[in-house]
Amino acid sequence: MPHARVTLDPAFTVAPVRRRTFGTFVEHLGRCVYTGIHDPGHPTADEDGFRGDVIEHVRELGISTVRYPGGNFVSGYRWEDGIGPVEERPARLDLAWHSTEPNTVGVDEFMRWCAKADVEPMMAVNLGTRGVQEALDLLEYCNVEGGTAWSDLRRKNGAADPYGIRMWCLGNEMDGPWQIGHKTAAEYGRVAAETARAMRMVDPGLELVACGSSSSAMPTFGEWERTVLTEAYEHVDLISAHAYYFEKDGDLASFLASALNMDAFIDDVVATADAVRAVNRSTKRIGISFDEWNVWYQDAAPSVPPKDSWPVAPPLLEDHYNLADAVVVGNLLISLLRHSDRVLSASLAQLVNVIAPIMTEPGGRIWKQTTYHPFALTSRYAVGEVLRVELATPSHQTATYGDTPLVDAVATHDAETGAVAAFLVNRSTSESVTVELDLRAFGGAEVVEALTMAGDDPYARSTVEDDTSLAPRPVTATRDGDVVRLELPPVSWSVLRLATGDRAGA
């Protein structure tokens, strides 16, 4: 059996664990909003029509932030359509997803949902068909206490206190030709800088995200970031990155190594941002908002309804995830954590029904996809500081990435409690790997819990009838002095929890 070794030391840290790493995304797309978070006829629905069972799952997932309302949807969205009496709101054509938007849920409903779910909103503004003034109007509606036309209208609509939204996305994927109002990098950089400058005149404390590339495979990648940041560097705080992965042509080994692409993507964006910083002689550093990431089988089903149909909330992009997909999601979280020095926020796309960890039946049952579990457990146990681990691992050949490490890992350490959590994946499609964790720097450690998500069939899926069989199971981790050993089955994700310091042996 192959062996790997992970060495941990509390002195070698990357950055604090960012709670915003565990954000997600709600877009007016398919059934994410309607029959997803909002389903007035459901037995658990509250007075606002929000499903209580979905809110319970969101809390269990450990969601920190929710990006809203898009996504491609936002580039044609008129936010004013979604405020005021519901019966007076206009229905509109949504060109992004070829659907009809009834505007039953809008800004005020979403903010009430955020309060119920105890999550931080991350609001996106339309810089596709709209611009600076409309962004200022939305900011005034949301964040000004009162005494102005838009803030007083919010109060009239039932929200006496301002929402105080801190994070704002300046458009979405404006590099993409599919985007309504698609722009060149120079065009977008200029409008992003103008919008950011104006929004800060209202509230200097906002955290603003400029659009980066919608994929590292875009022909403009790199040059897009350089041009946009040349225009907007001093006016924004973060630049976005988007990436989706799926198994291609039956190449499971390459798919399991998808985090290598995310690692390189992040490193390239950091390098580009820092190059602009050097040219500008700036003292600030731009962070990354990885505000769309997931497994998404983009060729598996039609992404929009037929052209002669404009339905309300059609079932779109409802990928059905398997065990291998969950292992990849767990590995992508490892990548995000180890880049916590520059990745300051991230959003799993999306939350409910649409390429999502949570699935619902309209008016009916709710169930957890396989991808639910690594996200929930990483969010729960990644606390304190991210450690810079030293990893020695065997490798194997993959068609896409060449010589590829079999094992990937990251760890976190909470100095206050002594808790250590190690998150590990085995990318081998056929072999188990024994991992040794060297904990001598901690002066002793006790195993609290070891959980592994694995199975005989990497393509096994959870269902509405059975969403527990593929959940992570307790496994045995043994301690020999300062070394803890754990066997990682092929195609697996694991979390190992340890007590160190004064808590060890307690």
DSSP annotation of 371: T
Alpha-carbon distance 479 to 420, whole Å? 15
DSSP annotation of 146: S
Within 8 A by CB and 6+ apart from 243, the residues are 215, 216, 261, 262, 265, 290, 292, 293
Contact (CB, 8 A) for 206 and 187: no
DSSP annotation of 441: G
Among the listed residues 183, 159, 158, 163, the one whose alpha carbon sits nearest the alpha carbon of residue 173 = 183
Q: Which amino acid is at 4?
A: A
Alpha-carbon distance 494 to 41, whole Å? 39
CA atoms within 13 A on the CB side of 38: 22
Active site residue 292: yes
CA dihedral 12, 18, 19, 20 (to 10 degrees): -160
Q: Say which of 101, 225, 231, 292 is annotated catalytic.
A: 292
Among the listed residues 324, 323, 338, 330, the one whose alpha carbon sits nearest the alpha carbon of residue 424 = 330
Q: Say which of 173, 231, 247, 385 is annotated catalytic.
A: 173
User: Got the DSSP string for 185-249?
Assistant: HHHHHHHHHHHHHHHHHH-TT-EEEE---S-TTSTTTTHHHHHHHHHHGGG-SEEEEEEEE---T
Alpha-carbon distance 356 to 99, whole Å? 19
Angle at 316 between CA 455 and CA 19, to 5 degrees: 60
Alpha-carbon distance 35 to 14, whole Å? 40
Within 8 A by CB and 6+ apart from 142, the residues are 107, 111, 123, 154, 162, 163, 164, 165
Contact (CB, 8 A) for 142 and 107: yes
H-type helices in 339-371, by residue range?
A: none
Give 368's strand partners. 358
Active site residue 173: yes
| Region for 355 from its dihedrals, namely left if φ exceeds 0, alpha if ψ lies in -120 to 50, beta otherwise | left
Tallying the residues shown for the chain, one arrives at 506
Instruction: With both helix axes pointing from N to C terminus, report the angle between 132-143 and 149-156 in degrees, rounded to the nearest 10.
Output: 50
Tokens of 358: 């949570």
Tell me how crowded residue 308 is: count the other CB atoms within 10 A of its CB. 6
Catalytic site positions: 173, 292
